[in-house]
Amino acid sequence: MTLPRRRFVLITTCAAVSPASAKPAEVATLIQALVGDASLKDGLIHLDLPVMVENGNAVAMSVSVADPPSPVEAIHVFAEGNPLPRVAVFRFGPRSGAPRVGTRIRLATSQTVIAIAKLRDGSCWRDSVDLLVTLAACIE
Amino acid sequence: MKRVLPLTVAAALLLGAGERRSGYDDAGPETRAMQDDDAANPAFLWVQQGESLWAAVEGAAGKSCASCHGEVARMRGVAARYPAFEPKLNRPVTIEERINLCRVDHMGAPALAWNDDGLLGLSSLIGLQSRGAPVAVEPREPLLSEGAKLFRERMGQLNMSCAQCHEDRAGLKLAGSLIPQAHPNGYPEYRLEWQGMGSLYRRLRNCMIGVRAEPFPPNSREAAALALFLAVRANGMKVETPAVRP
Amino acid sequence: MVRVLINVPKQIRANEPFDVKVLISHPMESGQRRDQVGQPIPRDIINHFIATLDGETVLDADFFPAIAANPFLSFSVVAEKSGTLALTFVDDHGVTQTELAAITVT
C-alpha cells in the first residue's frame, strides 16, 4: 500500500516551482521602457484582483479604465513575483465597447501585480494589488 | 458482526452535530463566481465535448448515445442517483463505470480510460442534467458498509484515514487550505489545482497519493465503495456538477 | 483545433457596449514545470488573441505564460448593426484558429 521512496521524491520534485522569480527591479525597467518620457500617475486604471488567492493557478483578474480623458490604447499587466514578469497586453480597437478586460492569470507566489494604461494623449496610469497566494495541500 | 456494521455506517454518516457544507460553501468568492457563471466555468469546455460525443456514432453496433437515450435532457435526475446498482457486476457502479458498460455492451465501442477527456465530457454533460437536484443515492449493502469502513481506515505512509481530515478536522486548515467535508456533489469538477477537469476517482487517487498510499485501481470495488459511501453521506445536498473547486 | 466556447448576449442594442465571454481549451503550458523525471516541460501557449467585428479590431491581446490554463477572456464590444465577430488566436507553433460568432442587433 505504500509507495517506494524514490517515487515519493519525484512526486515532490514535479510539484516544485521554478526557483527564479522576476524582481521588482526588472518590472520597473520594463515599465520605464513602456512609459518612456511620458507622465506616470497612480489612478484612473483599476486593477481588480483578490487580495487572498485560494489557488495561484487561476486567479480572476479584471482591468478597467473608467472615463478616460483620451482613448485607452493599451493596458499592460506585470507580475513582480512570477518567474516571467509579463502577464498580458490588451490593445483596444475601434469596435471596443469599453477599455476593460477580464481574464484569469497564474501567480507563482504572494506578490504585487501592476497594471499600466497607456492613453492616446501619451499619459500613463498605474494601479497595483499586493496579494497573498496559497496552494493546495495535497498535490497529485 | 452484522449488527455492528450498520451502526458504523450510521455513525460515519452523521458527520457530527454540525451542518453539512458543500465544497462550494468552503471555496473563496472568486472560485464560487467561476462556478456560478456557465460562460466563465472552464468545465463547460468538457460539457461541449460531451455534447459532441453524445451524438457521435461509435463502435461495432453503429450507434451513438442518442440512438438509445434520445436527447441528453432526458437524462434529467439520472446522475443524482449514482452510484447505482448494476446487476452485471452485482454491485453499485459509478456513472463513469455505467457509461463504459453502455459503450462496451450496447455500442460495441471501447471503454474509455478513467482520465479520458471524452469520458469526463460525457459524465459532466450527464451530471449537468441533474444540477440543482438533490443527491438521491440508494444506500445499498454490502458495498455501503465497505465504503464506510474504508472511510475510517488508516492508510499509507502517513497512516491517515479520510475521516481524520474530512470529518474530525473539516473546517480547519491544512497548509493554508481549508479542509472541506469532502462531499462528491460537484463531480466531475474543474479543479484549479489540476488546471483541468477530473472525476471523483481522480480526487480519491489524489488524496490517497497525498497520504502516500497506493491508490485503489480505477473501476475497482474499493473505489466504488468509497464513492457510494460519500454519495449516500451527501444525500439531500444539491448536485452542483460541473463544479469549480480550488 | 481546440475547443472554444463563445458567449454573446441575446439582446444587443446598436451602439450600446456589450460583453463577450470566451473560453478556450488549452493547457497553456508555462514552460516552468518539470515532469516526473525532472525534465522541463516545454512552453506551449496561445500567445496572441485578436477579436474583430466585420474586420474592425475590437481587442488585440498578447498572452504570456502567466495567463491561466483554459484561458478565459471577457471583453466589451460595440456594434452599429448586426455582423460577425471573428476570434483568432495563435499558439507558439504558429498554428492559427479562428472562431466566428453572429452578432445580432435587435
Nearest to A86 among C30, C64, C73 (CB): C64
A34 is a domain residue: yes
Q: What digits encode the pLDDT tens for the residues B14-36?
A: 554 468 999 999 999 999 999 99
Residue range C59-75: mean pLDDT, rounded: 98
What's the pLDDT score for residue B3? 44
Domains in chain B with CATH codes? 25-246 (1.10.760.10)
Cβ proximity of A59 and C68 under 8 Å: yes
Q: Give the number of domains in chain A.
A: 1
A85 is a domain residue: yes
Q: Which residues of C touch A94 (CB under 8 A)?
A: 56-57
Can you give the residue range of the structural domain that contains A61?
A: 19-133
Q: What digits encode the pLDDT tens for the residues C79-97?
A: 999 999 999 999 999 999 9
Q: Which residues of C touch B190 (CB under 8 A)?
A: 70
Counting as low any pLDDT under 70, the low residues of chain A are 1-22, 136-140
State the ipTM, two decimals. Answer: 0.96
What's the pLDDT score for residue B174? 87
A2 is a domain residue: no
Domain residue ranges of chain C, discontinuous segments joined by +: 4-30+44-103
Q: Residue A85 contacts by C-beta under 8 Å, 6 or more apart in sequence?
A: A22, A26, A27, A30, A78, A79
Counting as low any pLDDT under 50, the low residues of chain B are 1-5, 16-17
The C-alpha cell at C32 is 516552468
Query: What DSSP designation does B8 have?
Result: H
Residues of B forming the active site? 207
Q: What digits encode the pLDDT tens for the residues B88-106?
A: 999 999 999 999 999 999 9
Q: Do B176 and A137 touch (CB under 8 A)?
A: yes
Q: Which residues of C touch A92 (CB under 8 A)?
A: 58-59
Residue range C53-77: mean pLDDT, rounded: 98
What's the pLDDT score for residue B176? 78
A15 lies within 8 A of chain B by CB: no
Tell whether pTM > 0.80.
yes
A7 is a domain residue: no
Amino acid, res. B24: Y
- How far off is chain A from C69, nearest CA to CA, in Å? 8
A1 is a domain residue: no
C74 lies within 8 A of chain B by CB: yes
A8 is a domain residue: no
A9 is a domain residue: no
Domain with A54 in it: what CATH number?
2.60.40.2470
Nearest to A94 among C16, C57, C63 (CB): C57
Q: Do B157 and A54 touch (CB under 8 A)?
A: no
Architecture of domain C4-30+44-103: Sandwich (2.60)
Pick left, alpha or beta for residue B169 (phi over 0 → left; psi -120 to 50 → alpha; otherwise beta): alpha
